[in-house]
Structure 1
Amino acid sequence: MVRVLAIDDEALVREALRLTLSTIPDFSVSVSAPADALATASEAGSDIALLDVAMPGHDWLDLLASLRALTPRPAVAILTSFEVPGQMDLALRAGATGFLLKDMHPEFLAHSLRTVAAGGMVYVPPASASTIARVLTRSLPERHAPALPCAITQRERDVLTLLALGLQNADIARQLDIGTTTVKTHIGVLKRKLSVPNRVVLARLAQQAGLV
């Protein structure tokens, strides 16, 4: 059962989200206005909070941080009508692992929420691996990590970065707007180039090289 909390300042939108998400098997849906979101999330034990960003009078970044400070801590996905430049970066840095658009098909929305609740990342439109890595490490001190033992292409680097961030093949494919077969091919090439037996060692190598 995925426990979803939809947070919006408009009652009509909240009810629409409740009706849409309640039709999805395995979803338990709660809705809340921003002022009641923390109490509702705690009471419901929400696995994921679906947070609107266009809420006059409410700071969505503050609310996102407060949600992430709860115990147990819900995953947070941003839900917006359109992407404002820089908004995705802010969401990433604040700890959101989903950035979704309101015009998504309900089935894709459900799949995205399941992915985020399970610890994955979904960004629509897709964020490149280099963007995700850059944003997540922007506030960190410069690291002098060893380079990878051989040259890899930019696409291979993107795949390796997302793999090291914990994304599965389908999520990597979605973020990079490529097929899952292509992702598998890149991972196979990376294993051969870097002489490693599996994706666990690939991820460790990427971390040692400072990609994440």
Structure 2
Amino acid sequence: MPNGVHYLDTKSAQIYQSSSDQLYFFKVFIGNQTIEVEEGDCIYYFDDVLEYAHLKKGKCSINSLHCATLIRGYMPPEASISLKGVTVLPYINGCSTKQLFPPIRQGDPTLQYLYMPPNSSEQAHHIHSTARVVLVLRGKGQSIVGLDKHAHTEELYKGKVCILEPMCPHHFETPFDEPLVVVPLHIFSSIPQSEQNHPMYNGTYRI
């Protein structure tokens, strides 16, 4: 597996913690876990049947069956939102997106929803300046990470979690006859939403 990416499966309980040299501290809890969130932190997580996304700030305790990401030192308003409904913002190559929890200020974290139709790519090969935590909600696809002959392909399926470290070259594809729906958490974003100026575009750099 190439450097800069971590693939996890929600069928087993695991914890990923950002390294000390990253600008933003976060911790990802995979699988069935009870999580204590300290005052001053917040956590993004999903209900048991993957119908709602939740954002809650500490001090609190939550139970998560899928993927929960704790962010240190960020205290947004608490919120819940349905994962159902259509995408409303255009993206690359026929893909589309919507913002589940938009950034409150420039640079704040944001939870996005990305729909990729069959036989598409969500971008050219690119990097992000900060980490992404991506939960596969449904469908099937591939994650391509690395450069040229050193690139590695990993299958994406429901329940797979892909954690991309900053500056990791990658893109997702759907070379199968079914769409792929992923929910990426941007640890750092850019600006709120407009037709072609939203967090799925911003903070992405083609290479």
* Fold match (TM-score > 0.5): no
With structure 2 as the length reference, what TM-score do the two structures score?
0.27
With structure 1 as the length reference, what TM-score do the two structures score?
0.26
More helix by share: 1
Larger radius of gyration: 1
